[in-house]
Amino acid sequence: MRILVVGAGAIGGYFGGRLLQAGRDVTFLVRPRRASELASAGLVIKSPNGDARLTDPPAVQADKLTEKFDVVLLSCKAFDLDDAIKSFAPAVGPNTTIIPVLNGMRHLDVLDQKFGAERVLGGLCAIAATLNEKREVVQLQPMQSINYGERDGKLSARVKAIDEVFTSGIAGAGASQNIMQDMWEKWVFLSSLAASTSLMRTSVGNILAVAGGKDFLLGMLDETSATATASGYAPGGPFFERVKGLITTEGSPMTASMFRDIKAGLPVEADHIIGDLIARADAAKVPVPKLRIAYTHLKAYEKQRAV
């Protein structure tokens, strides 16, 4: 199975690197700067689950991509999706399967329109990783997972084949027969956390420590959950209680990566994570006043950043 990993940043570098470490046929689609880094220093992973140094990993740049691949693993940010599609499109053949692990749902519509829904699986991942100043992939916590599955819930032959390959190299990899539910539940948690910590510009613990903080956090969770429910993907009981516990833990330092991106002056996925959720809430006539305030805040940040 030939696997094209789009990018060799924190997420693509980690999961693709683990597959390569396990002896799988992996090629990284990278930009010139990253290609040079990989050629000179290799792909380095620093992780509580074990370090790895992969010398001269297979890499290709978009202008040299001509071969077809069996699987395309896509983990870019939503605002880079259009450029990513242009870069890996030549690798997509009639039997190629695309596994996107972007957050939210909007990217599925874009990929379906470009390549056909039959080529696009549902997917998600959970990992805390970054690139350090040496451009090494650093996993910040042991927790990691990557899941994929047919959007109709069937356990197809291609998903079984992908699962066999992925589980051979990635701890926490697994096929899901409820991938759309899984994706919606992650979106509920992520959007609640991102909207809250970005709007308040601080951690869950600090929000909880002030008057009205707990009600604000639970109110945000109620809005996102109501939107998921109206869309046919009501968050499950254990999931909801677990997330509720995470956002009501006193003293918690937890923040969303979106908030950390704001602090660093980086682009954010305002439209993909929050804006699209509001659009779906509007379509279902679900009131989401807190989400609207958070979205306005994020768009104002984008406007300021562009100045």
State yes or no: is 114 an active-site residue: no
Which DSSP letter does residue 148 get? Answer: E
Longest Cα–Cα distance in the chain: 59
Out of 64, 77, 154, 186, the active site residue is 186
Asked whether 45 and 8 are in contact (CB, 8 A), the reply is no
Residue 278's identity, in one-letter code, is I
Cβ atoms within 10 Å of 98's Cβ, excluding its own: 24
What's the DSSP call for residue 234?
P
Q: List Cβ neighbours of 52 (8 Å cut-off, separation of 6 or more).
A: 17, 18, 21, 43, 44, 45
Cα separation, 235 vs 243, in Å, equals 10
- The residue length of the chain stands at 307
Buried b (16+ CB within 10 A) or exposed e, 8-43: bbbbbbbbbbbbbbeebebbbbbeeebbebbeeebb
Residues forming beta bridges with residue 72, ordered by sequence position: 4, 98
Residues 38 and 28 sit within 8 Å (Cβ to Cβ): yes
Q: List, as one string, the DSSP characters of 79-91.
A: GGHHHHHHHHGGG
Burial class (CB in 10 A: 0-12, 13-18, 19+), 164: exposed
Question: Active-site residue numbers?
Answer: 186
